[in-house]
Amino acid sequence: MTLTLYPETFAVCQLSKKASLPDWALSGRFFSISKTEDELSVVCETSLVPEGTKGDLDWRAFKLHGPFAFNEIGIVASLTVPLAKAKIGVFVISTYNTDYLLVKEENVKKTLRVLRSNQHEVLEK
């Protein structure tokens, strides 16, 4: 599998379930918004997040080169199982065409080693 590592860092933010979509999150190369009955979650570039916003900063994103059919099995597992064995936590976002694997900035070098040693190609922008 081929992945591309994005150079920027991302934040995973939690807003009130009553919050409207924040304009500050709607730019940049990549953002993801999920709303549930409990919260509004936003993933966006760290540089866009206003001070005082509840969130976890300094995530890096790996884009899987899709698209993948919905019936393909084991796509995410082929990445997350070796990373779990290496004690690297992940945050996964899926879209219609592909998946994004986020790891903390401090784990990027180790993640690169693990992925490449498991026959995944990782490109860096």
Domains by residue range for the chain, with CATH: 2-124 (3.30.2130.10)
- Contact (Cβ atoms closer than 8 angstroms) between residue 62 and residue 102: yes
pLDDT tens digit sequence for 4-47: 999 999 999 999 999 999 999 998 889 999 999 999 999 999 99
Q: Give the pLDDT score at 28.
A: 86
Is pTM beyond 0.75? Reply is yes
**Rounded CA gap, 105 and 38, in Å?**
28
Q: Give the pLDDT score at 94.
A: 94
pLDDT tens digit sequence for 40-93: 999 999 999 999 999 999 999 999 998 888 888 899 999 999 999 999 999 999
Please, which pLDDT band fits residue 116 given cuts at 50, 70 and 90?
very high
Closest CA to 112 of 35, 60, 34, 53: 60
Q: Give the pLDDT score at 59.
A: 98
